[in-house]
């Protein structure tokens, strides 16, 4: 994700849910409750982002419950700051560029998507939400 979209999506993001909610317990048990990426006290690069070498100290899936991650997924799913439109526009352009390339059979625009801001809406964790 481009830096300028990520910064906009996480602007003002904070932990705000009830992590004692039984629906959040399995996520909290595996990932930990909501916290900021800043709480890891990682060394930052010149742009203010944690160094990859620092991030590699923890399994990446554990970062899904950081306030920044949940805010970005929420922005993608709800089109906050036009992020859904930009995301779709980017992948539309990629698809157009690669459409006639005989060496490309497909691409995965959203690998391992997380269920947006589960802290604000634990119902997103229900498997039958869309049935």
Catalytic residues, by residue number, are 112
Distance CA(53)–CA(112), nearest Å, equals 21
In the Cβ-directed half-sphere of 108, how many Cα atoms lie within 13 Å? 4
Burial class (CB in 10 A: 0-12, 13-18, 19+), 68: middle
Q: Whose structure tokens read 């999506």?
A: 9
Distance CA(84)–CA(73), nearest Å, equals 10
Q: Whose structure tokens read 């059979």?
A: 105
Residue of 6, 9, 7 whose CA lies nearest to 78: 9
């Amino acid at each position: 994700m481009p830096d300028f979209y990520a910064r906009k999506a996480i602007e003002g993001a904070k932990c705000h849910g009830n992590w004692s909610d039984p629906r959040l317990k399995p996520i909290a048990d595996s990932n930990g409750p909501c916290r900021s990426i800043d709480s890891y006290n990682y060394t930052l690069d010149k742009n203010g982002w944690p160094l990859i070498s620092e991030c590699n100290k923890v399994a990446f899936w554990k970062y899904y419950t950081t306030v920044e991650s949940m805010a970005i997924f929420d922005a993608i799913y709800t089109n906050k700051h036009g992020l859904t439109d930009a995301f779709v526009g980017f992948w539309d352009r990629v698809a157009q560029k690669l459409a006639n390339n005989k060496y490309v059979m497909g691409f995965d625009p959203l690998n391992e998507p997380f269920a947006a801001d589960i802290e604000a809406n634990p119902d997103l964790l229900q498997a039958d939400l869309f049935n």
